[in-house]
Copies of this chain bind each other. A is one copy, B any other.
């Protein structure tokens, strides 16, 4: 397990994850992902108006969201949010120390932190962690690198896709951590993407934004938007291709692979939502337009009543219809159709006789498919979420500041 490769599979990257004592649990809590030289990089950060110092740092060094970067240093257990100018100095010091070890400038290193809000980082431990992670950088630590970003995640999350552009084979890899305070008004929690292709930074940023729209932005665990969300992508250029630019056929191939990686990570995030026992895919079709489809899908995916019903294995289509009806999407009651697991429970606004055994069996599974057709137009969107369990409450009632 510890030797599984993913984030360093694209040539040109090394990674490490170490334990430096930020987490009380003593688990991995500091990760470095480094390229062998300055490489194309793009970053998306939270849309929350309250932001952590690391997010502010990323925006300072990449004001347009893309450029050339050497590495990212990530810690878990403490998000360095609401820590004022001192916290920003801490984030800068993390970048500077990592940069010095790599032989580059602080402005070439991104920073991300996740964990509790409102506490200064234990910088003595962080410094030792950075030194240890730098010493451990390699291609055999990918699993530890993911673990160094995890908070309430129960499983590490990674994805790999490959493709060909002309005669060149390429790889795209990603790792991500969730799993609470997740809502789609931003990129995601923390996710890192690597590829061995050469890509123009602006093109990389554009691909990242488009991929996030249909993947990370489609995830909602609890409708709460984190202050620390960061999605960063690095393109090493190890493939030796001419840098891909916007509009090229090659960029489209890369975009497909990147969306596949982001999509897989997004599903893994939703499936591992805090307390989740099931992944729920909510597709709204037949909406007036995509914005309406997204509004209705998100209203359903954020409905605590619907999520509790799935937790209890209850085919409660009434809560699905009610959630769509309260959304900003145009809903005409007598055109509504609701399906669970491919079985129609309601159509044209009325309940239908259905095979309860089939629906109950579907709801007993790990992946629940809900379709709500508004019967108005062609807009379609799929949101990803998880059920709401007693365990979610336990995790978040007992997680003390």
Contact = CB atoms under 8 A, between A and B. Distances in A.
Interface of A: 47-51, 81-84, 116-119, 180-181, 183, 185, 222-227, 302-305, 308-309, 311-312, 314-319, 321-326, 330-334, 336, 346, 349-351, 388-390, 392-401
B396 A393 contact: no
A351 B321 contact: no
A47 B116 CA distance: 38
A27 B336 CA distance: 33
Given A50-B322, A314-B399, 4 more contacts: A51-B325, A117-B322, A304-B388, A304-B392
Contacts of A315: 401
A395 B388 CA distance: 12
B394 A390 contact: yes
5 contacts: A181-B305, A304-B392, A312-B396, A316-B400, A318-B401
A61 B324 CA distance: 27
Given A118-B317, A396-B309, A222 B304 contact: yes
Contacts of A323: 224
Nearest to A389: B393
A333 B394 contact: no
B223 A302 contact: yes
B225 A326 contact: yes
Contact of A48 (B81, B316, B317, B322): B322
Contacts of A223: 223, 302-304
Nearest to A316: B401
Contact of A51 (B308, B309, B311, B333): B333
Contacts of A181: 305, 319, 322
A50 B336 contact: yes
A143 to B, nearest CB: 28
B227 A322 contact: yes
A324 B401 contact: no
Contacts of A185: 326
B401 A393 contact: no
A392 B308 contact: yes
Contacts of A350: 82-84
Contacts of A304: 222-224, 304, 388, 392, 396
A181 B320 CA distance: 12
The 10 closest A-B pairs by CB, nearest first: A117-B318, A312-B397, A50-B325, A308-B396, A225-B326, A390-B390, A49-B325, A49-B331, A118-B351, A48-B325
A305 B222 contact: yes
A79 to B, nearest CB: 8
B226 A322 contact: yes
Given A226-B322, A321-B82, A322-B225, A308 B118 contact: no
A311 B69 CA distance: 43
A186 to B, nearest CB: 9
Contacts of A224: 303-305, 319, 322-323, 326
A119 B346 CA distance: 12
A305 B49 contact: no
Contacts of A227: 318, 321-322, 325
Nearest to A87: B350
Given A48-B326, A226-B322, A314 B392 contact: no
A351 B82 contact: yes
Nearest to A387: B397
A49 B116 CA distance: 39
A318 B82 contact: yes
